Amino acid sequence: MYRAHIIVEGIVQGVGFRPSVYRLADETRLTGYVRNIGNAVEIVVEGERSRLDEFIARLKTEKPPISRISNVKVDFERIGKLSFHDFSIKESSSEFSGTSVIPADVATCDLCLGEIMDEDNRRHLYPFTACTDCGPRFTVIESVPYDRERTSMREFPLCESCMEEYLNPLDRRYHAEATCCPECGPELFLYRKKVMETDDPIMRAAELLDMGKIIAFKGIGGTHLVCRADDDDAVMELRSRLGRPGQPFACMSPDLESIRRYAVVSEREEKVLKSRRRPIVVLNKSRDYCLAPSVAPGLHNIGVMLPYSGLHHVLFRYTDAPAYVMTSANRPGDPMLVRNRDIIEGLDGIADYFLLHNRRIVNRCDDSVVRFRGGEMAFIRRSRGYAPEPYDLTGISGDVSALCLGPELDVTFSVLRKGQCYVSQHIGNTSRYDTFLFLKEAVEHLMNITGTDELDVVACDLHPRFLTTGYAEEVAEELSAEILRVQHHHAHSLALMFDNMVDECICIAADGVGYGDDGTSWGGEILHCTGPEYRRLGSLMPQKMPGGDLATRYPARMLLSILGEYHDAEELREIFTRRYIHYFPHGEREIDTVIKQLESGLNVSLSTSTGRVLDAISAALNICGRRTYEGECTMKLESAAFAARGHLKIPFEVKRSKGRYILNTSGILLQVMDLLERGEDVNEIAYAGQRAVAEGLAEMAVLAAVDTGVECIGGTGGVFYNEAISLAVRDYINREGYGFIQHRNSCAGDGSVSLGQAVLASLKYG
Q: Report whether 597 contacts 590 (CB < 8 A).
A: no
Residue 145 lies in a domain: no
Number of domains making up the chain = 4
Instruction: State how far the Cα of 200 lies from the Cα of 311, in Å rounded to an integer.
Output: 12
Note whether 324 and 415 are same-domain residues.
no
User: Quick one: pLDDT at residue 146?
Assistant: 83
CA distance 376 to 726: 11
Q: Dump the DSSP string for 230-269.
A: T-HHHHHHHHHHHT-SSPPPPEE-SSHHHHTTTB---HHH
| Residue of 756, 731, 732 whose CA lies nearest to 743 | 756
Neighbours of 740 (CB within 10 A): 19
Contact, 211 vs 182, CB < 8 A? no
Does residue 533 surpass a pLDDT of 70?
A: yes
Domain containing residue 212 = 188-369
Q: List, for residues 724-760, the tens digit of each pLDDT value.
A: 999 999 999 999 999 999 999 999 999 999 999 999 9
Which residue among 319, 334, 369 closes a domain? 369
Q: How confident is the model at residue 198 (pLDDT cuts 50, 70, 90)?
A: very high
Residues 225 and 363 in one domain: yes
Residue 98's pLDDT band, with cuts at 50, 70 and 90, is low
Task: Give yes or no: residues 336 and 380 share one domain.
Answer: no
Coil vs helix vs strand at 430: coil
Mean pLDDT of 78-104: 81
Q: What is the mean pLDDT of the chain?
A: 95
Task: Answer whether residue 418 is part of any domain.
Answer: yes
Please say if the pLDDT value at position 434 is more than 90.
yes
Whole-number pLDDT of residue 99: 61
pLDDT per position as a tens digit, 275-307: 999 999 999 999 999 999 999 999 999 999 999
Note whether residue 559 is domain-resident.
Answer: yes
Q: Assign 629 to helix, strand or coil.
A: coil
pLDDT of residue 718: 97
Model confidence band, residue 438 (pLDDT cutoffs 50, 70, 90): very high
- Residue 341's CB is within 10 A of a number of other CB atoms, namely 9
**Res. 331: pLDDT tops 90:** no
| φ/ψ bin of 724: left (φ > 0), alpha (ψ from -120 to 50), beta (otherwise) | alpha
The verdict on 325 and 255 lying in the same domain is yes
Contacts 24+ apart (CB under 8 A), 530-537: 530/503, 530/504, 530/505, 531/503, 531/504, 531/763, 532/760, 532/763, 532/764, 534/487, 534/490, 534/493, 536/660, 537/506, 537/660, 537/661, 537/700, 537/704, 537/707, 537/708
CATH number, domain containing residue 43: 3.30.70.100
**List of residues 6+ apart from 584 with CB closer than 8 A:** 554, 556, 576, 590, 591, 594
Mean per-residue pLDDT for 266-273?
Answer: 98
My answer on whether 335 and 448 are in the same domain is: no
Mean pLDDT over 233-246 rounds to: 95
Does residue 587 lie in a domain region?
yes
322 and 443 inside one domain: no
| Cα–Cα dist 526/715, whole Å | 10
Would you state the pLDDT for residue 97? 57
- pTM for the predicted model, two decimal places: 0.94
- Just list the catalytic residues: 18, 36
Quick one: pLDDT at residue 66? 82
Last residue of a domain, one of 349, 369, 389: 369
Q: Are residue 337 and residue 431 in the same domain, yes or no?
A: no
Answer whether residue 408 is part of any domain: yes
The DSSP call for residue 583 is G
Q: Are residues 326 and 443 in the same domain?
A: no
Task: Count Cβ atoms below 10 Å from residue 197 Cβ, excluding itself.
Answer: 8
For residues 355 and 406, state if they share a domain: no
Same-domain pairing of 198 and 315: yes
Q: Is the residue at 668 inside a domain?
A: no
Question: In this model, does residue 766 exceed pLDDT 90?
Answer: no
Q: Give SS3 for 82.
A: coil
| CATH number of domain containing 313 | 3.90.870.40
Q: What share of the chain is helix, strand, coil (3-state, %, to 5)?
A: 35, 25, 40
pLDDT of residue 317: 97
Q: State the pLDDT at residue 95.
A: 67
Going by C-alpha positions, the residue among 631, 629, 620 that lies closest to residue 718 is: 631
Q: How confident is the model at residue 527 (pLDDT cuts 50, 70, 90)?
A: very high
Residue at 290 is within a domain:
yes
Strand ranges in 269-336 using DSSP code E only, listed in sequence order: 280-284, 301-305, 324-328
Whether 291 is covered by a domain: the verdict is yes
Kindly report the number of other CB atoms within 10 A of residue 261's CB atom.
15
The confidence score (pLDDT) of residue 398 equals 79
Q: What is the mean pLDDT of residues 414-435?
A: 94
8 Å CB contact between 762 and 400: yes
Model confidence pLDDT, tens digit, residues 357-400: 999 999 999 999 999 999 999 999 999 999 999 999 999 987 89
> Per-residue pLDDT tens for 35-75?
988 778 999 999 999 999 999 999 989 988 888 888 899 99
Tell me if the bond preceding 145 is cis, omega within 30° of 0.
yes
| CA distances, 205 to each of 188, 212, 213 (Å) | 11, 11, 9
- Statement: residue 96 has pLDDT above 80: no
**Calpha distance 540→658 (Å, rounded):** 13
Shared domain check, 305 and 229? yes
For 442-494, how does the pLDDT look when each residue is reduced to its tens digit (9 = 90+)?
999 999 988 899 999 999 999 999 999 999 999 999 999 999 999 999 999 99
Residue 93 has pLDDT above 90, yes or no: no
Q: What mean pLDDT do residues 200-214 have? A: 98
Instruction: Characterize the bridge pairing of strands 402-404 and 2-11.
Output: unpaired
> 606, 634, 655 — which closes off a domain?
606
For residue 539, what are the contacts with CB-CB under 8 A and spacing of at least 6? 522, 524, 525, 526, 608, 660, 661, 662, 663, 700
Same domain, 212 and 256: yes
